[in-house]
Amino acid sequence: MSQRKVSVRGNLVRDMMQNVMETSLKQPIRTGELRKNPVEPAWVRPAGYEYEIIELENLKMEYLRPVGVVTDRVILQLHGGGYIGPMKNIYRRFAVRYSKLSYGGDVLTLDYRVAPEYPYPAALEDAVAAYQWLIEEKGYRPEHIVVAGDSAGGGLSLALGLYLKDHGIALPGGFITMSAWTDLTNSGESRVSNYEIDPLFGNSTDSMLYNSEYIGGEDPGIPYISPVFGEYEGFPPVLMQVGSYEVLLSDTLTVADKLKNAGVKRRVSVYEGMFHVFQMGLDLIPESREAWDEVESFLRIIFNINIKPDGKVVRKVKTEHTKPARDMVKLLIAMMKKELDT
């Protein structure tokens, strides 16, 4: 567990999600109503970034790059949404965060085809095409690519890795999953044990997790649909994050065990009291901030990023005013921590 104690803000956000989901959202999410009629303000590209929409045959992608920075590293982001949801503004904000945490890396976010119009294997085909585009068209080396995804995008990331391995295509440098949906057979133990506490998918089977349109007429136990049934020998390092309250908790833990048995380097973080893709809280809640800090550490390892302090370290000179000022700062920090975490 990354945190044994849930922050006040984390509890509040989780409760807010539960209150909303118990009213009107579960049915529209399952039927695709929210996908067909997304209501979002226009996204404004932050200063210092180039932003390009790339449209290929059956493929739409958004390519974000910091201006005047060339690192030769890139994150391929596969968004969540149960294979029926569209690419939304939160993933554009995620892209900016990934770029910053990779110290100037580029980010390609794939807006893959979704069900019910495009069931399996459409999303996987698009993910493979996007990965090959990065290598063949843009010249990125596979080891300089990290594939990241949340929820369905997390499962799709692992499915992409399984496909690449099975077809003799060079694997990326690493994978990041957040609350990955890896078992579309819904056989995980946490579907039962966390049924009453998951604020997003608990207390109902009328959601995108059940009777998924993505499966189409295929067997949901196919590893490319449910990566929990895949074999992971030869995979690069994997970072997996999940909340302890999720019905999808088993989806992460079972894959994590398979990674361990396959000898794959992996880090698995279960955040106590957290809900599905709590990382969307960005800087709002302490658990989300900690999760993104963990992402940064992982990216620095995968990309071999060494950060050295600027300038020269000099010996600090104590004055009679230094200690009172330092004590005041410590007191303020303690008060803030008490406010947020107790």
Domain count, the chain: 1
Residue 332 domain-assigned? no
Residue 340 domain-assigned? no
Q: How far is CA 309 from CA 297, 306, 313, in A?
A: 16, 10, 9
Residue 116 domain-assigned? yes
pLDDT of residue 206: 84
Beta strands in the chain (DSSP E): 49-56, 59-66, 74-78, 106-110, 145-150, 174-178, 238-243, 266-271
pLDDT of residue 11: 59
Question: For 255-265, what is the mean pLDDT?
Answer: 98
Q: How far is CA 33 from CA 39, 208, 243, in A?
A: 11, 12, 27
Of residues 24 and 261, the one with the higher pLDDT is 261
Residues designated as active site = 151, 246, 276
Sign of the dihedral defined by the CA atoms of residues 247, 248, 251, 257, in that order: negative
Question: For 10-39, what is the mean pLDDT?
Answer: 51
Question: For 10-19, what is the mean pLDDT?
Answer: 51
∠ Cα 120 123 127 (to 5°): 140
pLDDT of residue 252: 98
Q: Around Cβ 93, how many Cβ atoms within 10 Å? A: 14
Write the CATH number for 37.
3.40.50.1820
Q: Is the pLDDT of residue 247 over 90?
A: yes
Question: For 267-289, what is the mean pLDDT?
Answer: 94
pLDDT of residue 40: 78
Structural domain of 123: 8-317
Q: Is the pLDDT of residue 331 over 50?
A: no
Residue 263 domain-assigned? yes
Q: Is the pLDDT of residue 336 over 70?
A: no
Residue 274 domain-assigned? yes
Residue 334 domain-assigned? no
Q: How confident is the model at residue 116 (pLDDT cuts 50, 70, 90)?
A: very high
Question: For 204-218, what is the mean pLDDT?
Answer: 90
Please tell me the total number of residues recorded for the chain in this structure. 342
pLDDT of residue 31: 53
Q: Is the pLDDT of residue 226 over 60?
A: yes
Question: For 170-186, what is the mean pLDDT?
Answer: 98
Q: Is the pLDDT of residue 264 over 80?
A: yes
- 271 φψ region: left (φ > 0), alpha (ψ -120 to 50), beta (else): beta
Residue 57 domain-assigned? yes
Beta bridge partners of 54: 61
d(CA 307, CA 220): 44
Residue 326 domain-assigned? no
Q: Is the pLDDT of residue 190 over 60?
A: yes
